Amino acid sequence: MLTTRPRGTADILPGQIENWQYIEAMAAQVCREYGYREIRTPIFEHTELFVRGVGDTTDIVEKEMYIFQDRGERSITLRPEGTASVVRAYLENKLYAGPQPVKAYYIGPMFRYDRPQAGRYRQFHQFGVEVFGAKQPAADAEVMALAMDFYARLGLTDLELHINSLGCPTCRATVRDKLQQYFQPMLGELCPNCQSRYDRNPLRILDCKSSRCAELALDAPTTADCLCSDCQAHFEQVQLYMQDLGIPYVLDKQLVRGLDYYTHTAFEIMAPDIGAQSSVGGGGRYNGLIEACGGPPTPGIGFALGLERILLALEKSGKLPQIQARPLVFLIAVGDRAVRSSFSLLSRLRAAGIAADMDYQGRSLKAQMKYAGKLGVRYAVITGEDELQRGSVMLRDMYAGEQWEIPVGEVINTLKDK
């Protein structure tokens, strides 16, 4: 136990973290250009927030949350997704009283007690955005465009964007009736979970992971067949904007999404060749959520993208840049006096913004050279007793295999020029 991490979690090691930093920096850059600002909310919240904000008939709330009692006997949950927390922060900090819409993004770990497999973990990371207070269809298009732009800048251009409309509460009531009529004769064949969903939220049956339920649902009526004229018009506008932006999409009437609070546009982004867990992100509009959480009626829309799966897709398609974090310079010193002099040069190099390092193991000259080679540094700055006497160092270009003696006072400027 002591040396084994919990199932479904991962260590992100040096050598891997550079890829994460690259993706996260890209997310931050795209968000800046689209006018989204970062928000950081707690990793844990009151359990009630997710029960209300995600929906009590969802898989997440029914079986995937990490819930515990804290020492004050409050029920606390490790966040399984980001939207509910951002909504809570919007309300608690009265962001609705400021200029609207509020456009925010977040990046961070989420926790779900899922069955771990490739692309599915118990602690995973999402990059998400939320827009509160924008009801126009252009906002739906912007949010999808932002997601696709982000993927494209990473080099992921062969993704499929699936979109659907889940309608408003009026359309939902219609589809609910139709679904209950449709599933009524086969109620006994549905999984126990779906049998209980039949009364509470039959739409959820369309999202069930059991293959029998999926089979039975094949010819079920869909929300897209039951849209009222306003929802129909909204959805058509969204599609027009997408066409104007030249972003291809697939109309997918089967698309439901895992969270209860979605209304109108719902979307999911699939990567063709990363295995069974092909969804690299999804989102949609949730016009009822903020009110359901006790706020003023406020339209909302957003997405969440899974960073592990994006990394998987980047690896599979060979689109990960070769990023190696290594110091530019390694200081090599032999003898106590030379080590002292190098140590102070090291600090001056760093103060000048040059990434530099030196040996702390008392290695021999040869071993230090070998180690510098392993680190892959470009330059070695070698100080021995002779150089010390002359107030100089040997600057070695490790790639070219050439070296020159230069005065110690010129090292920083010489390296800066290079």
Q: Which is nearer to ligand AMP, 180 or 279 (CB)?
A: 279
CB 156 within 8 A of CB 314: yes
Q: Which is nearer to ligand AMP, 80 or 167 (CB)?
A: 80
* Cβ contacts of 196 within 8 Å, gap of 6 or more: none
Q: State the nearest-atom distance from the C-beta of 399 to ligand AMP, in Å.
A: 40
Beta strand 123-132 pairing with 279-285: unpaired
Helix axes 307-316, 137-154, angle to 10 degrees: 50
Beta strand 75-78 pairing with 66-69: antiparallel
Q: State the nearest-atom distance from the C-beta of 27 to ligand AMP, in Å.
A: 14
Q: Which is nearer to ligand AMP, 182 or 249 (CB)?
A: 249
Q: State the nearest-atom distance from the C-beta of 200 to ligand AMP, in Å.
A: 20
CA distance 289 to 81: 14
CA distance 224 to 265: 10
Which residues form the interface with ligand AMP (CB under 6 A)?
Answer: 81, 112, 114, 119-121, 124, 126, 258, 279-282, 304-306, 308-309
Q: Which is nearer to ligand AMP, 236 or 273 (CB)?
A: 273
Burial class (CB in 10 A: 0-12, 13-18, 19+), 22: middle
CB 387 within 8 A of CB 405: yes
Dihedral sign (CA 215, 218, 219, 222): positive
Q: Which residue is nearest to ligand AMP (CB)?
A: 306
Q: State the nearest-atom distance from the C-beta of 120 to ligand AMP, in Å.
A: 4
Q: Which is nearer to ligand AMP, 281 or 295 (CB)?
A: 281
Q: State the nearest-atom distance from the C-beta of 283 to ligand AMP, in Å.
A: 7
Q: Which is nearer to ligand AMP, 258 or 288 (CB)?
A: 258
DSSP 31-46: HHHHT-EE----SEEE
Q: State the nearest-atom distance from the C-beta of 228 to ligand AMP, in Å.
A: 25
Q: State the nearest-atom distance from the C-beta of 47 to ligand AMP, in Å.
A: 18
Percent helix, strand, coil in the chain (nearest 5)? 45, 20, 35
Q: Which is nearer to ligand AMP, 157 or 170 (CB)?
A: 157
